[in-house]
């Protein structure tokens, strides 16, 4: 009897390892999970020149964590709106700058209203060639950029292959300012309605995002689901022990530092908290990149330096060394920007360490949904400096006294959001779309939680 072939997935993910850009961990985890479940996965992603040379967002260690069975293709793109070094201009742009500008503007007006439209067209051509050789069963497109959504829509129109749209970020919603991202009549609204209307399913990272889009596109609401970010358990080691009484409590922030984070409020609160005996001699170690692009690094470094009595910047951490950082930490600082539409993937990793977590962010960020019930979460309820200081002190005291049982309970809370558990119902959804029954029983809950 002939063996049934593996279901084939075309995954449109502009940010994918070795890129370290926004949302790359969600894309990496999704592709890896599907490959482990027997899918034949092909990823169309950004050109190497873009991530390594143009924006300097490159991490070879992260690329090594991608399942070797995944096929990765890098269609080309135009860099008109991204390349500002005249020495790297194409011959066409350097020779005919006015014509090049008009061509770029024509593309935004008549092809797709986003500077990545040329990558989308290249993905369309590449996807059609690959499909002609061996048919794809399902297409998944993750945004941003949202040229991936348009590409999935066009591929569906030309081939009939069903597609799923994954809103890692919002398109027409400014999720940091809680308002529409475009004025009425902007082409983005028409394109969003177009791609949503033909999608077989639409996924979001949290319920608030889903609800906002369901209200505006009620004809698609029944196909909208939540697939939260999750915990990559392989990155974590054993829980850290309690700090010795005579040693300062070690506070750590691990993640990308970006301009919108409440750095100044955290510094002020930490100075206030350090008046208590439990924080004498303590500082906050900062691990991670300063912004997603080199252009933001200098300003962020200066901002941290203005509070060098509080912060000690230690630079990026290769993925294999993340567990070591957590082993050398007593309290984690969860500092993030945005509001109820923003869920950072880092919080799942934080929860999985079994360490005390202090929230330093606006009171209604979406991450609070998954933190509810975590036994070692210290939430000041906002950015009021005395309240944040109190939370820091309470977390330091708990770090010295917490029991093994408390740590186990904290890790058990995080285990509910392991990538395997979160992505299992999503994989079943894709199998159903591909016309294949799931290998095990599984049901997607109404809110997408495991």
Alpha carbon 35 to chain centroid, angstroms: 20
Burial of 334 (0-12, 13-18, 19+ CB in 10 A): buried
Q: Is a pLDDT exceeding 80 seen at residue 89?
A: no
pLDDT at 143: 93
Percentage, residues of the chain above pLDDT 90: 66
Give the mean model confidence (pLDDT) for residues 180-193: 94
The owner of tokens 């997408």 is 448
Q: What is the pLDDT of residue 440?
A: 42
**pLDDT at residue 91 above 90?**
no
| CB neighbour list of residue 386: distance below 8 Å, 6 or more residues apart | 269, 272
Residue burial 266-290, b: 16+ Cβ < 10 Å; e: rest: bbbbbebbbebebbeebbbbbbbbb
Whether 219 has a pLDDT exceeding 80, the answer reads: yes
Gap between the Cα atoms of 284 and 164, Å rounded: 41
Inter-axis angle of helices 187-198 and 147-159, nearest 10: 50
pLDDT for 296 equals 81
3-class SS at 352? helix
Spell out the domains of the chain, with CATH numbers in brackets: 8-77+116-230+419-433 (3.40.50.2000), 233-415 (3.40.50.2000)
Give the integer Cα–Cα distance in Å for 166 and 14: 12
Burial of 76 (0-12, 13-18, 19+ CB in 10 A): middle
Q: Which pLDDT score, from 0 to 100, does residue 244 have?
A: 58
Residue 245 has pLDDT above 70, yes or no: no
* pLDDT at residue 240 in the model: 61
Q: Which pLDDT belongs to residue 82?
A: 75
Question: What percentage of the chain has pLDDT greater than the value 70?
Answer: 93
Dump pLDDT digits (tens) for 366-390: 888 899 999 999 999 999 999 999 9
Per-residue confidence (pLDDT) for residue 52, from 0 to 100: 87
Return d(Cα 434, Cα 430) in angstroms, integer. 6
In degrees and rounded to multiples of 5, residue 164 shows phi and psi of -120, 135
From residue 49, give the alpha-carbon distance in Å to each of 71, 78, 290, 294: 19, 11, 21, 15
Q: Measured in Å, how far apart are the chain's first and last C-alpha atoms?
A: 37
Distance separating alpha carbons of residues 128 and 122, to the nearest angstrom: 10
Name the pLDDT band for 162 (thresholds 50, 70, 90).
Answer: very high
Cβ density class 387-406: b for 16+ within 10 Å, e for less? ebbbbbbbbbbbbeebeeeb
Span 400-419, mean pLDDT?
92
**pLDDT at res. 241:** 61
What pLDDT is stored for residue 146 in this prediction? 97
| Per-residue confidence band for 317, with pLDDT thresholds at 50, 70 and 90 | confident
Instruction: List the helix and strand counts (H, then E) for the chain.
Output: 17, 15
Give residue-wise pLDDT tens across range 119-133: 999 999 999 999 999
Looking at residue 237, its pLDDT comes to 64
- pLDDT category, 295, cuts 50, 70, 90? confident
Each residue's pLDDT tens digit, 247-293:
899 999 999 898 889 999 999 999 999 999 999 999 999 999 888 77
């Amino acid at each position: 009897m002939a063996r049934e072939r593996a279901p084939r997935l075309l995954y449109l993910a502009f940010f994918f390892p070795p890129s370290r850009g926004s949302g790359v961990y969600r894309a990496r985890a999704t592709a890896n999970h599907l490959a482990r479940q027997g899918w034949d996965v092909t990823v169309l992603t950004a050109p190497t020149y873009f991530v390594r040379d143009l924006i300097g967002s490159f991490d070879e260690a992260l690329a090594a964590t991608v399942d070797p069975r995944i096929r990765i293709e890098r269609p080309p793109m135009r860099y008109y709106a991204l390349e500002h070094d005249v020495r790297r201009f194409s011959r066409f742009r350097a020779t005919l700058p006015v014509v090049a500008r008009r061509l770029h503007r024509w593309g935004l007006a008549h092809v797709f209203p986003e500077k990545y439209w040329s990558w989308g067209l290249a993905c369309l051509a590449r996807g059609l060639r690959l499909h002609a050789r061996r048919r794809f069963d399902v297409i998944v497109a993750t945004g941003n950029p949202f040229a991936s959504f348009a590409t999935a829509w066009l591929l569906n129109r030309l081939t009939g292959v069903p597609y799923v749209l994954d809103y890692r970020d919002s398109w027409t919603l400014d999720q940091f300012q809680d308002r529409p991202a475009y004025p009425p009549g902007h082409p983005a609204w028409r394109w969003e309605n177009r791609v949503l209307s033909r999608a077989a399913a639409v996924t979001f990272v949290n319920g608030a995002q889903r609800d906002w889009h369901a209200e505006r596109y009620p004809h698609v609401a029944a196909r909208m689901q939540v697939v939260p970010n999750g915990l990559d358990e392989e990155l974590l080691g054993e829980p850290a022990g309690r700090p010795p009484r005579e040693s300062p409590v070690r506070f750590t922030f691990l993640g990308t530092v970006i301009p919108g984070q409440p750095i100044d409020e955290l510094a002020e609160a930490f100075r206030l908290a350090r008046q208590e005996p439990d924080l004498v001699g303590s500082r906050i170690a900062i691990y991670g990149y300063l912004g997603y692009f080199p252009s933001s690094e200098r300003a962020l470094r200066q901002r941290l330096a203005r509070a060098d009595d509080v912060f000690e910047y230690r630079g990026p951490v290769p993925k294999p060394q993340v567990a070591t950082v957590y082993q050398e930490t007593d309290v984690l600082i969860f500092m993030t920007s945005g509001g109820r539409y923003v869920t950072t993937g880092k919080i799942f990793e934080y929860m999985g360490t079994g360490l005390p977590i202090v929230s330093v962010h606006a009171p209604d960020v979406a991450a609070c949904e998954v933190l509810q019930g975590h036994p070692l979460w210290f939430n000041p309820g906002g950015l009021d400096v005395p309240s944040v200081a109190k939370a820091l002190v309470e977390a330091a005291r708990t770090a010295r006294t917490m029991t093994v049982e408390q740590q186990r309970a904290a890790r058990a809370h995080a285990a509910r959001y392991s990538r395997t558990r979160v992505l299992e119902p999503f994989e079943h959804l894709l199998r159903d779309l591909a016309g294949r029954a799931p290998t095990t029983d599984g049901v997607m809950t109404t809110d997408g939680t495991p």
